[in-house]
Structure 1
Amino acid sequence: MNIKIVCVGKLKEKYLKQGIAEYSKRLSKFCKFEIIEVPDEKAPEKLSPAEMEAVKQKEGERILHKIKDKEYVYALAIEGKERSSEEFAAELEKLGTYGHSDVTFVIGGSLGLSPVVLKRAQTKISFGRFTLPHQLMRLVLTEQIYRGFMINNGSPYHK
Structure 2
Amino acid sequence: MQIERVPLPGVGVGYTLHTGDGQMLGVVCHRNGRRDLVVYAPGDPDTVERSLTLTPAEAQEVAELLHSIATIDHVTHLERHREAISVAEVPVTAASPYDGRPLADVVAHTRGVTVIAVVRDGRTVTAPGPGHVLTHGDVVIVAGDQESIGAFSRVLVLADS
Answer 1 or 2: which has greater helix percent: 1
**Greater relative contact order structure (CA < 8 Å, 6+ sep):** 1
> Which interval holds the TM-score relative to the shorter structure?
under 0.3
TM-score normalised by length of structure 1: 0.23
Using the size of structure 2 for normalisation, the TM-score is 0.23
